[in-house]
Amino acid sequence: MSRILLFNKPYGVICQFSRDGMHPTLADYIAVPEVYPAGRLDTDSEGLLLLTDDGKLQHRITDPKHKLPKTYWVQVEGVPDETALQQLRGGVALKDGMTLPAEVRAMEEPAALWPRNPPVRFRQSIPTSWIALTIREGKNRQVRRMTAAVGFPTLRLIRYRIGDWTLDGLSPGLWRQEEA
């Protein structure tokens, strides 16, 4: 039976078990042998990271041809209008090519949101807002590059869902095991 761990990765943690001497790693939070991350999450991003002991499952989760949807809660600088949201829905031209169309909607700040350490920088004269963005690919820093390309830079990025797995009930730094 395959094991899958759902981990709420805090800001500043790198998605590897080996230490780099500068950042906390998965080893600081997860003392389970023989599990490996199924994908990555940038050091300055937070949220759901899946780990498994099953190589085939790991491949299925990460392989773009399976198009497993990933939903992010994104705090952006400014308030995107319908034109910007429509651009995200249609795909955005990045330096490494067009993104696939995304699902996107404006949302309120998540109710169960935890404080980030360090806090996000705020400017009194520029409002911030939240969007829920679902993609089915994983280009390097894709969500950040997409929101910047339509004029609304990402301030905070939290992966909420991968396929049917969510962060629900998981505080930052905690994990739970589920059947794969």
Catalytic residues: 42
Q: DSSP letter for 122, please.
A: -
CB atoms inside a 10 Å sphere around CB 9: 27
Beta strands in 53-144 (DSSP E): 70-77, 93-94, 97-98, 103-107, 128-135
How far is 136 from 131, CA to CA, in rounded Å? 16
Closest CA to 106 of 70, 153, 74, 151: 74
| Residue 47 CB neighbours (<10 A) | 24
Element (H, E) at 155: strand 154-162
How many CA atoms does the CB half-sphere of 17 hold within 13 Å?
11
Residue 154: HSE in the Cβ half-sphere, 13 Å Cα cutoff: 21
